[in-house]
Amino acid sequence: MLAGRCYRGTRISLEVAPLLQEPHPSSLLRISSNNSSQITCQRLLESRLISALDGCDCLPRLKHVHGHLIRAGLDQSSFLLAKLLRTLTNLDLPMDGYARQVFDQVRQPNSFLYTALIRGYALQGPTQLAFGLYTRMRLNETPPLTFTFSALFKASAGSLDARVGAQVHAQIVRLGGFDLDLYVNNTLIDMYIKCERFQDARKAFDAMPHRDVLSWTSLIVGYVRRGKMEEATELFDQMDEKDMVAWTTMITGNAQNRRPGDALQVFQQMWSMGIETDDVTLVGAISACAQLGSLRYGRWLRYIARQRGFDQNVVVGSALVDMFAKCGSLDEAREAFDMVKEKNVFTYSAMVVGLAMHGCALPAMQLFEEMVNSGTVPNGVTFIGVLTACSHAGYVDRGRQYFSTMREKYEIAPTADHYACMVDLLGRAGHVEEAFDLIQHMPADISLHGGVWGALLGACRLHGRPHIAEVAAKHLFALEPDGIGNYVLLANIYASAGMWGEVVRVRKMMREKGLKKNPGCSWVEAKDGRLHEFYASGKTHPRDSEIMTVLEGLLERLKQSGYVPILRCVLYDIGDREKQQLLKMHSEKLALAFSLIDTTHGSVIRIAKNLRTCEDCHLFFSLASKVSGREIVLRDNMRFHHFEDGLCSCGNFW
DNA sequence: GTAGGGTTAG
């Protein structure tokens, strides 16, 4: 059966096919009954050795069986040795020379032996040896098999260099036969995709006489990796037969290409068609949900994961941790974290970053210590997490320590992202000049990005220094010419310093570039699960008058408990009364008033906002949490604020 | 025997 499927239409393969049909243990006895007793014995021995090889799960056991094989005088049996080599490479062992030894002891290796070793090098490396062996095989006139070519393509894919693979491809086209084989072509496409030679993959795909769901999926992956989701979707729609992997590719692809809405739409379609969902599918959907920030949807995905026991899976679990943190529910993130028994660096990092985002600096650092004590080695992302935590809480010295530990103890070279964290940490704490200095003395091989200068500009917003801001902004405008936030920030810094002439100049720049300030927008999920949007100084919501009544009432109560609007948050040159009016109508305040009307009493109020929240709103929310007795989670474009009983998790430092 | 997987800052 195997031979029939794999060797169809190839001349060379027919010669070797009988070898493959030989040795299934159950058939051996049947064959042997018609032969002499000596052969029967030999066959039985072989059969035993085959079972023994199947049961090998570690190198010493394998070597033990190999010893038996030699003593039984079967050390030249190509079939058994090929089986042994395959088992050896499947054990995920490095090709430490033992496999080669076994191979070299054979006087006349056949196609299967060569292929087994080539496959070993393809899977475990070093991949170039696979090609060397293939050359020797051809020089010895040993006929190749379909397996041989798929192993070679795998080796090429593994080394991410398609050059040798492409030569082999040209050879099999000349040779004929093999280039029609489905399996060979599928591995060929996969190789070209992995080596980023999309055009060659497409050509191979188009030349195939028959394609299966794997060929289609591989090509779709090619589009996904190049960010071409329209083309990927078009191809996907053309598929007659779609399996779970094909669906998952589209879900993950959309998620990876920042199209979370489309990802979840595909997931829902798949779900409604009753197609099975596994851990990989869920990871894609959960990651999309994290980008979208929809807690309700996230809880549904967790329910599906739980039903199938995937919430204990380390990859699904890590994705859940990240998703719940990004959806504003730190408690559920922690719950998901605790469900994972064998946590790895992803699980810990997701939780550390989550805690940092929510302003829980001490727990983030504590968890980092816990992680190290558990023997999990932190990576660059984990350090982003602890550095952010330090930055949000103003722990400058701890941050400096982490920064040097990362290089000295863990030998992780800091990237521009880490420098951005350090600039943020120093700058936020008021060491603006030191932060500037750090940027100027960054190693030359690290290319600066917007994050580094952006952190410096943010520091200038907090602590003044319009002249440093100017330098930072100049770099930012070059790196991110359309980054509207940078212009707004610079204008605000000038406004705070009373440099109104400069404000006018920046506003003029924005006008000339055709950039418009994004209107402030907040949104909240109501009782019925629908999303409600609010715009600054809005009057766009159907229940506007009701909202205004609640807002006015709340404002009065807050004023009685000591609230004084922070007028300097308004960066326009206008009178105090107008400033108060503008502040009152910030979108998050409208969303909060609405939440007090239309959410279940006693539940956590969750509000998201597209821009950074202002100091006045922050104070307003702190006091509102006390007066209303409600817990409020506010997500702005940077991070989360947890307001409870008059206090915010960020300790008013953000 | 071949296709799909999670964490990053202003």
The reported pLDDT for the residue numbered A382 is 98
Q: What is the pTM of this model?
A: 0.86
CB A640 within 8 A of CB A632: no
CB A319 within 8 A of CB A344: no
Strand B interface, A 376-415, C-beta < 7 A: 379-382, 384, 388, 391, 415
Helix (H, G, I), strand (E, B) or coil at A24: coil
Confirm whether any atom of chain B, the nucleic acid strand, is less than 7 Å from CB of A13.
no
The reported pLDDT for the residue numbered A367 is 97
| A199 vs A187: CA distance, rounded Å | 15
C1' (B8) to CA (A644) span, angstroms: 28
Closest by Cα among A289, A233, A297, A280 to A261: A289
| A357 vs A635: CA distance, rounded Å | 10
| A277 vs A468: CA distance, rounded Å | 53
β partners of residue A608: A523, A635
C1' (B10) to CA (A453) span, angstroms: 7
Which token pair is A339? 């469900």
pLDDT-derived band at A282 (thresholds 50, 70, 90) equals: very high
Mean pLDDT for A297-305 is: 96
pLDDT-derived band at A38 (thresholds 50, 70, 90) equals: low
C1' (B6) to CA (A542) span, angstroms: 41
| A427 vs A436: CA distance, rounded Å | 8
Confirm whether any atom of chain B, the nucleic acid strand, is less than 7 Å from CB of A87.
no
pLDDT beyond 70 at A24? no
A5-35 burial string, b = 16+ CB within 10 Å, else e?
ebbeebebbeebbeebeebeeeebeeebeee
State the DSSP code for A233.
Answer: H
C1' (B3) to CA (A492) span, angstroms: 51
Which chain B positions come under 7 Å from a protein C-beta?
1-10
| A251 vs A439: CA distance, rounded Å | 39
A96-113 pLDDT tens trace: 788 888 899 888 899 999
Q: Which nucleotide is nearest to A654 (CA to C1')?
A: B10
**Torsion, Cα of A524, A525, A527, A530 (10° steps):** 120
Q: Which nucleotide is nearest to A479 (CA to C1')?
A: B10
C1' (B9) to CA (A20) span, angstroms: 57
Helix (H, G, I), strand (E, B) or coil at A454: helix
CB A318 within 8 A of CB A336: no
pLDDT beyond 60 at A36? no
pLDDT-derived band at A653 (thresholds 50, 70, 90) equals: confident
C1' (B7) to CA (A264) span, angstroms: 20
pLDDT-derived band at A10 (thresholds 50, 70, 90) equals: very low
* Residues comprising chain A, all counted: 654
* Distance from the first to the final alpha carbon of chain A: 67
The reported pLDDT for the residue numbered A37 is 56
Confirm whether any atom of chain B, the nucleic acid strand, is less than 7 Å from CB of A320.
no
Q: Which nucleotide is nearest to A183 (CA to C1')?
A: B2
pLDDT beyond 70 at A20? no
Confirm whether any atom of chain B, the nucleic acid strand, is less than 7 Å from CB of A172.
no
A321-358 pLDDT tens trace: 999 999 999 999 999 999 999 999 999 999 999 999 99
- In chain A, % of residues over pLDDT 90: 61
Strand B interface, A 214-253, C-beta < 7 A: 214, 217-218, 221, 243-246, 248-249, 252
Q: Which nucleotide is nearest to A3 (CA to C1')?
A: B1
pLDDT beyond 50 at A19? no
Mean pLDDT for A282-306 is: 95
A496-506 pLDDT tens trace: 888 888 888 98
**Residue A604: is it exposed, middle or buried by C-beta count within 10 angstroms (0-12/13-18/19+)?**
middle
The reported pLDDT for the residue numbered A14 is 23
Mean pLDDT for A264-292 is: 96
Helices (H) and strands (E) in chain A, counts: 35, 6
Instruction: Please report where in the chains the tokens 């212009």 appear, as a residue.
Output: A487
Q: At residue A9, what is the residue type? A: G
Instruction: Please report where in the chains the tokens 């030699």 appear, as a residue.
Output: A70
Q: How far, rounded to the nearest angstrom, does the alpha carbon of residue A138 sit from its chain's CA centroid?
A: 42
Helix (H, G, I), strand (E, B) or coil at A93: coil
β partners of residue A635: A608, A640
Q: Which nucleotide is nearest to A356 (CA to C1')?
A: B9
Mean pLDDT for A566-590 is: 87
Confirm whether any atom of chain B, the nucleic acid strand, is less than 7 Å from CB of A480.
yes
pLDDT beyond 80 at A379? yes
pLDDT beyond 90 at A610? no
| A85 vs A100: CA distance, rounded Å | 9
| Residues in contact with A605: Cβ distance below 8 Å, sequence separation at least 6, in sequence order | A524, A592, A595, A596, A599, A630, A631, A632, A633
A380-417 pLDDT tens trace: 999 999 999 999 889 999 999 999 999 999 999 999 99
pLDDT beyond 60 at A31? no
Q: Which nucleotide is nearest to A316 (CA to C1')?
A: B6
Q: Annotate A178-218 with DSSP letters as a single string.
A: GGG-HHHHHHHHHHHHHTT-HHHHHHHHHH-SS--HHHHHH
Q: Which nucleotide is nearest to A276 (CA to C1')?
A: B4
The reported pLDDT for the residue numbered A126 is 87
Packing angle between helix A182-194 and helix A213-225, nearest 10 degrees? 10
The reported pLDDT for the residue numbered A171 is 92
The residue lying closest to nucleotide B7, measuring its CA against C1', is: A350
Strand B interface, A 439-468, C-beta < 7 A: 450-451, 453-455, 458
pLDDT-derived band at A12 (thresholds 50, 70, 90) equals: very low
Count CB atoms within 10 A of the CB of residue A445. Answer: 6
pLDDT beyond 90 at A135? yes
Q: Which nucleotide is nearest to A380 (CA to C1')?
A: B8
pLDDT-derived band at A2 (thresholds 50, 70, 90) equals: very low
C1' (B2) to CA (A190) span, angstroms: 8
| A73 vs A112: CA distance, rounded Å | 19
pLDDT averaged over chain A?
88
Q: Alpha carbon of A206 to those of A66, A185, A186, A216, A219: distances in Å? A: 45, 11, 12, 11, 10
The reported pLDDT for the residue numbered A402 is 97
The residue lying closest to nucleotide B8, measuring its CA against C1', is: A381
The reported pLDDT for the residue numbered A17 is 26
C1' (B8) to CA (A514) span, angstroms: 31
Count CB atoms within 10 A of the CB of residue A394. Answer: 16
Confirm whether any atom of chain B, the nucleic acid strand, is less than 7 Å from CB of A621.
no
Q: Annotate A545-584 with DSSP letters as a single string.
A: HHHHHHHHHHHHHHHHTT----GGG--SS--HHHHHHHHH
The reported pLDDT for the residue numbered A49 is 83
pLDDT beyond 70 at A33? no
The reported pLDDT for the residue numbered A29 is 32
Which token pair is A241? 């037969």
The better pLDDT of the pair A241, A77 is held by A241
